Structure 1
Amino acid sequence: MTLAMTFTVIAVAFILSAISGFGIIPALRRMKFGQSIREEGPKAHQKKAGTPTMGGLIFLTSIVFSTLFLSYIFGVMTTQTIVLLLVLIGFGIIGFIDDFIIVVLKRNLGLTSLQKLIGQIVVAILVFFLLKMGPFETTVAIPFLDIKFDLGIFYVAFLIFWLVGFSNAVNITDGLDGLVAGTSTVAFGGLGVFALQYGQDDVALFSFAVAGAMLGFLLFNMKPAKVFMGDTGSLALGGAIAMISVLIKQELLLLIIGIVYVVETLSVIIQVISFKLTGKRVFKMSPIHHHFELSGWSEWKVVIVFWSVAFVAVLVPVLMEVM
């Protein structure tokens, strides 16, 4: 892919996302698909109740159409493209069902954790068999070192863990206006650069399509958010970012590029373990972005700081790769 093609992908995805937002958000309002805010959360969030959710439909629509159209135009449609779209749509459907149960059917719990897990595992297994139809390495590399571990048949277990883990990690992070939209823009953009370096134009195109679509979504999701992505969007993004790392064979690199998602998830795990073992909480509230809010930071300050961390976490590995 040339630089012009890259900018074209980002621009098309951005425009499609922006146009979709202007059409989908009013529809969500008319259907009263409003977000309910949990009472135990920060009090300042209560005013967000009723904000349309399931906004992931905005950027998912953009990503799918821009990826299919431009992959065909640029001649980079491959099995990997289909795999990426399968993960994006598959995890997106799971999130949509969860959102639908909560918002439309008014069942606060939505899908159970087991039901979500089963759905995610099914998608991961389908992906594994698709990958095995062609030449696919079952190795996991240590970033920036010439060290690889071949997991063999156990790679399927790793793949399930990776997709499910990052899908839920992004879902956990989605708690503040623009937080996931901003961090995912830079994360997918960075992975797109790596894909280009490895000559995987198909994966790069998808990555940049996601980055462009998220920029378009930010028009509506920045504070004060006019729409939330819901599980429809966050589960899909988490699955997709994990899948990209698998296809470019830099799985563990995602622990750096997705450091915000990793820390957010660890904060929840630490909080739960600490409370169960000692009856005490390490953080004022988890995930950790709520801890900073309750420590006196404004929501906007938390988002900007987390965006900055995400940007540095992407910039450093990218510079190391291209230099």
Structure 2
Amino acid sequence: MPYQLYKGMVNNILHELLLPFIVSFSGALLGTYVVRQAAVKLKWISVPREERWNTRYVALMGGIAVFVSFVITALVFQPLEYQAVGLGAVMMFSAGFWDDRMEMKPIAKFLIQFLAASILIGMGYTLSSSWPFWLAIPLTYLWVIGVTNAFNLLDNMDGLAAGIAVIAALVFGGLAFKLSMPSVAVIAFTLAGASAGFLVFNYNPAKIFMGDCGSLFIGYMLAALPLMLEPALTEINPASILPVLIAVTILPIFDTTLVTFVRIFKGRSPSQGGSDHSSHRLVFSGLSEKTAVNTLYMIAAFFGGIVLLFYPSYTPLFYILLTLGLVGLAFFGAYLSRLDVYEEQKLSTLESMVDSIPDYVKRKVQLGTIFVDITLIIVSFTLAHFIRFEMWSFEVEEAVIQVLPGIIVLKILLLAGFGLYKSVWQYAGMADLMRLFLATFWGSLLAGGYAWGYMGGYMSVSVFAIDWFLFMFMLASSRFAFKGLRRLFALPTNGGKNVLLYGAGDAGWLALSEIRQNPDLHLDPVGFIDDSPYKQKGKVQGLRVLGSYHRLKAICEEHDVDEVLICIRDLSEDKKEMVKYMCTKSEVTCKEFLPVFSEVESEDEKSSKERSYSFEYQESA
């Protein structure tokens, strides 16, 4: 590449992307500091309420700094060619400001959102100009109003909404740059910079909240940006615009969908406030607020990353990874929905209906699982071809379409034949994993034979080897998803007594599993001690072996241990006495974990023993 051309490209990137980001970031950073000082003096303060997550008095109206910084930066760098978008942004900010100060009625807020969306549509900004107007216009209304409100609902924990706004705006900006739409890229990076400047003050522990004036404005801009990209996206493929939009704004969509469905299922109003969003559920499962927010950041970054990396250059690979991500997100949402965050004893009408279905009927109905398996079969087989040939051509697509229906039937029948639709995967073990291994191996082997015979010789045998590894991994991930998530989120502490486990063997592993999966014990494991030199500094289920028996007293002091739990079945009595003595010296409780099998006695046996005890007591008396 000639030096002058390279220099020109660098200058373009600097001017079109980095400079607007830096200016808006600096403006929002300074503006947020000023607004926070003013909010304290004017008593614009968020007061803790029962239905809200926040329990502190925090300054409000940080959205003013985001909006002002965005507008000034956009005026400096951006020609006035998107007046309709700017007018809608002003309307959203004004409605949010009014709602923050005087609590606007929901119907009035909706009408303003409807009007802002109408202005966009009237200026020609719709989801796809190639779709019939009777489809494109209603979907555009749904998109703009839906994303605006979804982002507003996402503003429920320190740093969450602002961080997701930075990620989504950067993705839209990068996509605009790839599609040679520099004006849209400037607007997107300006929004990202303004949100990032505010995030410095809003990240946990937050010193200021953005309020509705910020969340409605940012949500509206995130909905409007892809409409500005619509001409380029439609030119590539009119059908691909929705998957791209869903991928970039996946977090607000996911959170709103989860909250809405669970509230309806629980017999609650979808519009009422509450601490039942995805971020709250992650904290309820045991994560800290920072870790919960960072987890959601990573999910948004994954979906945004596949857009930037693979769209539109590798569109088939983008669809494959998007499908995998959505399947994983569905399992993640199903896990979060099972967490009981409402603490209600009474079942709703829908819950009662589901609860009344007999268990044998529930076990027989495997339609959801079969649908997921069919999706994974398609994804793994398609991805295997992409990996093998490092491209996607008409010949490859034609071959895949011809043999895929037969392969789906073969593999589903094999999975059923190996009993994979009968196992209770929440408690699956090595035997289930082995059956899964054999089912996927024979499935790919027979699929290869079928494809070879059907097409008179297939393109590549190695495709089926790759397909086997991919399908086995995906199927195992789907089957062990709930068990894995349960173990993963059981790692954090639950605020109970600090317990040190003596013995990093089978009994110690069993004790740790019980402690983590039974919050009613109110125990927080801090680590293991074990006398084996091979286990020193190792880990069991992520928990460190802190040392040997000889360091018991020092470890108890270092980690503020309240209780030592002996988890060695054949520990000598002398060793037990020494452990108890050292615990007494350290003022630490000592207990023993004994997994035992007790024989269940009949009523006749119990009454017989009672008569015997009564007779012996009388004799001794």
1:41 deviation in Å? 4.1
1:52 deviation in Å? 0.9
Instruction: For 2:275 and 2:283, locate their aligned partners in 1 and report how far apart those are by CA, in whole Å.
Output: 9
SS in 2 for 1:98: helix
Letter in 2 for 1:20: G
1:322 deviation in Å? 6.5
In the TM superposition, 1:116-135 aligns within 5 A as 116-131=109-124
1:210 corresponds, among 166, 191, 195, to 191
1:21 deviation in Å? 1.5
SS in 1 for 2:67: helix
**Is the contact made by 2:84 and 2:119 (CA closer than 8 Å) also made in structure 1?**
no
Please say which of residues 60-69 and 245-254 is displaced more in the overlay: 245-254
**Is the contact made by 1:55 and 1:228 (CA closer than 8 Å) also made in structure 2?**
yes
1:235 corresponds, among 212, 216, 221, to 216
Per-residue Cα deviation, 1:137-170 (whole angstroms, up to 9, x for no partner): 7627xxxxxxxx6131443322221111001100
SS in 2 for 1:183: helix
Instruction: For 2:252 and 2:21, locate their aligned partners in 1 and report how far apart those are by CA, in whole Å.
Output: 23
Per-residue Cα deviation, 1:146-195 (whole angstroms, up to 9, x for no partner): xxx61314433222211110011001110111111111101101001111
Asked if residue 112 in structure 1 is aligned to residue 119 in structure 2, the reply is no
2:76 is matched with which residue?
69
Instruction: For 1:171 and 1:152, locate their aligned partners in 2 and report how far apart those are by CA, in whole Å.
Output: 28
Instruction: For 1:34 and 1:217, locate their aligned partners in 2 and report how far apart those are by CA, in whole Å.
Output: 17
**Is the contact made by 1:138 and 1:152 (CA closer than 8 Å) also made in structure 2?**
no
**Is the contact made by 1:87 and 1:243 (CA closer than 8 Å) also made in structure 2?**
no
1:289 corresponds, among 262, 272, 279, to 279
Letter in 1 for 2:266: F
1:272 deviation in Å? 2.1
Instruction: For 1:4 and 1:98, locate their aligned partners in 2 and report how far apart those are by CA, in whole Å.
Output: 38
Letter in 1 for 2:25: F
Letter in 2 for 1:70: F
SS in 1 for 2:45: coil
TM-score, normalised to structure 1, is 0.84
SS in 1 for 2:46: coil
1:261 corresponds, among 238, 249, 252, to 252
1:127 deviation in Å? 2.1
Per-residue Cα deviation, 1:14-42 (whole angstroms, up to 9, x for no partner): 11111112211100110000012331345
2:41 is matched with which residue?
30
Q: Is there any run of 5+ residues in structure 2 with no aligned partner, and where?
A: 1-10, 234-240, 314-621
SS in 1 for 2:293: helix
Please say which of residues 82-91 and 190-199 is displaced more in the overlay: 82-91
Letter in 2 for 1:97: W
Asked if residue 2 in structure 1 is aligned to residue 12 in structure 2, the reply is yes
**Is the contact made by 2:147 and 2:252 (CA closer than 8 Å) also made in structure 1?**
yes
Q: Percent identity?
A: 25
**Is the contact made by 1:138 and 1:151 (CA closer than 8 Å) also made in structure 2?**
no
Per-residue Cα deviation, 1:104-141 (whole angstroms, up to 9, x for no partner): xxxxxx2222111111101111222223xxxx67627x
1:273 is matched with which residue?
264
Instruction: For 1:88 and 1:152, locate their aligned partners in 2 and report how far apart those are by CA, in whole Å.
Output: 24
Instruction: For 2:200 and 2:301, locate their aligned partners in 1 and report how far apart those are by CA, in whole Å.
Output: 19
Instruction: For 2:279 and 2:150, locate their aligned partners in 1 and report how far apart those are by CA, in whole Å.
Output: 13
- Residues 111 and 241 (structure 1 numbering): CA distance in 2 closer, same or farther, change over 3 Å? same
1:146 is matched with which residue?
none
Letter in 2 for 1:122: L
1:69 deviation in Å? 0.8
SS in 2 for 1:177: coil
SS in 1 for 2:70: helix
Q: Is there any run of 5+ residues in structure 1 with no aligned partner, and where?
A: 72-76, 102-109, 141-148
2:81 corresponds, among 79, 82, 85, to 79
Instruction: For 2:221 and 2:29, locate their aligned partners in 1 and report how far apart those are by CA, in whole Å.
Output: 21
Instruction: For 1:179 and 1:137, locate their aligned partners in 2 and report how far apart those are by CA, in whole Å.
Output: 28
2:128 is matched with which residue?
139
Please say which of residues 154-163 and 267-276 is displaced more in the overlay: 154-163
Letter in 2 for 1:291: R
**Is the contact made by 1:10 and 1:213 (CA closer than 8 Å) also made in structure 2?**
yes
- Residues 210 and 137 (structure 1 numbering): CA distance in 2 closer, same or farther, change over 3 Å? closer
TM-score, normalised to structure 2, is 0.45
**Is the contact made by 2:158 and 2:203 (CA closer than 8 Å) also made in structure 1?**
yes
1:78 deviation in Å? 4.2
1:14 corresponds, among 6, 19, 25, to 25
Asked if residue 98 in structure 1 is aligned to residue 109 in structure 2, the reply is no
**Is the contact made by 1:17 and 1:217 (CA closer than 8 Å) also made in structure 2?**
yes
**Is the contact made by 2:126 and 2:137 (CA closer than 8 Å) also made in structure 1?**
no
**Is the contact made by 1:98 and 1:111 (CA closer than 8 Å) also made in structure 2?**
yes
- Residues 138 and 193 (structure 1 numbering): CA distance in 2 closer, same or farther, change over 3 Å? closer
Instruction: For 2:36 and 2:108, locate their aligned partners in 1 and report how far apart those are by CA, in whole Å.
Output: 28
1:89 is matched with which residue?
90
Instruction: For 1:7 and 1:220, locate their aligned partners in 2 and report how far apart those are by CA, in whole Å.
Output: 21
**Is the contact made by 1:124 and 1:163 (CA closer than 8 Å) also made in structure 2?**
yes
**Is the contact made by 1:260 and 1:310 (CA closer than 8 Å) also made in structure 2?**
yes
Instruction: For 1:53 and 1:306, locate their aligned partners in 2 and report how far apart those are by CA, in whole Å.
Output: 23
**Is the contact made by 1:267 and 1:286 (CA closer than 8 Å) also made in structure 2?**
no
1:188 is matched with which residue?
169
1:207 deviation in Å? 0.2
Letter in 2 for 1:4: L
1:285 deviation in Å? 4.6
SS in 2 for 1:182: helix
Letter in 1 for 2:19: T
1:198 is matched with which residue?
179
- Residues 125 and 194 (structure 1 numbering): CA distance in 2 closer, same or farther, change over 3 Å? same
Larger Cα-atom Rg = 2
1:203 deviation in Å? 1.1
Instruction: For 1:10 and 1:69, locate their aligned partners in 2 and report how far apart those are by CA, in whole Å.
Output: 12
Instruction: For 1:214 and 1:137, locate their aligned partners in 2 and report how far apart those are by CA, in whole Å.
Output: 25
How many equivalent pairs are there?
288
- Residues 118 and 137 (structure 1 numbering): CA distance in 2 closer, same or farther, change over 3 Å? closer
